[in-house]
Structure 1
Amino acid sequence: MPGGHGLSNAKPLRILIVEDEFLIALELESLLQDQGHDVVGIAATSDHAMALGQQFAPDLAFVDIHLADGLTGIDVARKLSDQHQVTVLFMTANAKRIPEDCAGARGVIAKPYTERGVKEALAYVTAEHDPTGGITDRLTFTPFDAKSRRDSSSQLS
C-alpha cells in the first residue's frame, strides 16, 4: 500500500514558516528540509505570511504567535486555515495566549522546540490523526482536540 509506512514514504509537504526570529526560522527550515519537506517561504510579519500563503498555497504552516508586527500570529493562523485551507501548527513559549477555538490550528509545539517535537508534529499532521496514538502525553507537541486542549495547556507554561 503506498505511503503507509512513516514519513520517509510520505509525500513531501510544502511548508510555510511564520517566525520573526530569523535564526529560529533558519534552524527550523533546515530541520524540515532534512525531513524531506519543501519550505516555500519564511515570513516575519502577518502581511508577508498572508502573501506567501496566497502565492504558494502551502500544505502546512508553523506559526509563532508573536511576530515582528505584534501578537498577529493568531490572526495569521485563522486566515491561513479559513481562506487557504492550510494546516497550522503554533510554535510558542506561551500556549495560554492561544484562544479556546485554537484559531484554526491543529496543535502547538512548545518553544524552545526540539527536533523530536517537530518530528512528532509532522507525524501527527501526516497521519490519520489517531487521538490514541500516544502523542498527547508528551510536552514537546500537543495536538488540539477538545480534551487535550484544556488538560495540556497548563503543562506547557
Structure 2
Amino acid sequence: MSEPLRVLLVEDEALILMQLEMLLEDAGHLIVGTAMRAEEGVALLLETRPDLVFVDLRLAGDSSGVAVVQSAREIGGITCVFITANSRQLTDELEGAAAVIAKPFSGSVLEDTLAFLEQALRRPPPELAVPHGMRVAPAARESWALMEG
C-alpha cells in the first residue's frame, strides 16, 4: 500500500461510524476525525485537511452533508464520498461529491470502494473497476480518467 489516506468521517449513526472506522484502520488508513453534524465536519475539514471524507447526506440536528462537501470543494484537494440511504435525492453531479454509496451496504462493498478510491486518489487512473454499489460523479470520472461503461 502507498501512503495511508487521511480520512474524515461525518456520520451520525454510531454503528456505521464504527464499521467505517474499523474497515479504514484495518486497511492501514488514518482516521483524522469524526463528526456527527455538518458544522463539526466543516470545522474538522479546516483543522485536519483530509484526503478523503465519507459523509452522510442527512446528519444529526437537521444538518446536511452537502454543507460539508461544499466546504471541502472551497478548501480544495479533498475528495468527498456520500454514504446515504437517500442517494436518489442527489443530482447526477452528486452535489459536488466524487461518488455515492447507497445504504445499506455490505463490508465487501466498503472494502472494494476503499481499494478503488485509494487507486483513484493515489495513482489515477485506477486499475480496478468502479465497485458495485458505487456511483461516480461525471467530474470525478473525468478527473480519474475512468473509461465509460
Q: Note if contact 1:78-1:104 (Cα within 8 Å) is conserved in structure 2.
A: yes
Question: Contact (CA 8 Å) 2:94, 2:100: kept in 1 or not?
Answer: no
Question: Which residue number in structure 2 is paired with residue 135 of structure 1?
Answer: 130
Q: 2:12 is paired with a residue of what secondary structure?
A: coil
Q: Which runs of 5+ in 1 are unaligned?
A: 1-8, 149-157
- List structure 1 runs of 4+ shifted beyond 3 angstroms: none
Report the count of equivalent residues.
136
Normalising by the residue count of structure 1, what TM-score does the alignment of the two structures yield? Answer: 0.77
Q: Which residue of 1 aligns with 2:138?
A: 145
Identity of aligned residues (%): 35
SS in 1 for 2:98: strand
Find the counterpart in structure 2 of residue 153 from structure 1.
Answer: none
Unaligned runs of 5+ in 2: 142-149
Post-superposition offset of 1:71: 4.8
Distance 1:62 1:81 in 2: 14
TM superposition score normalised by structure 2: 0.81
Match of 2:19 in 1: 27
* CA 1:133–1:13: 2 relative to 1, 3 Å: closer
Supply the distance in 2 between the matched residues of 1:26 and 1:112 (Cα, whole angstroms): 14
Q: Which moved more, 1:111-120 or 1:36-45?
A: 111-120
Give the partner amino acid of 2:137: F
Q: Contact (CA 8 Å) 1:15, 1:41: kept in 2 or not?
A: yes
Match of 2:34 in 1: 42
User: Taking structure 1 as reference, are residues 101 and 126 closer, same or farther at Cα in structure 2, changes over 3 Å only?
Assistant: same
Deviation of residue 69 (structure 1)? 2.4
Partner Cα separation in structure 1 for residue 58 and residue 116 of structure 2: 24
- AA paired with 2:129? G
* Cα drift, residue 114 of structure 1: 1.7
Structure 1 residues 6-155: aligned runs within 5 Å: 9-127=1-119, 128-130=124-126, 133-135=128-130, 138=132, 140-145=133-138
Deviation by residue 1:90-125 (Cα, 9 ceiling, x = unmatched): 001121111333222111111112222222222222
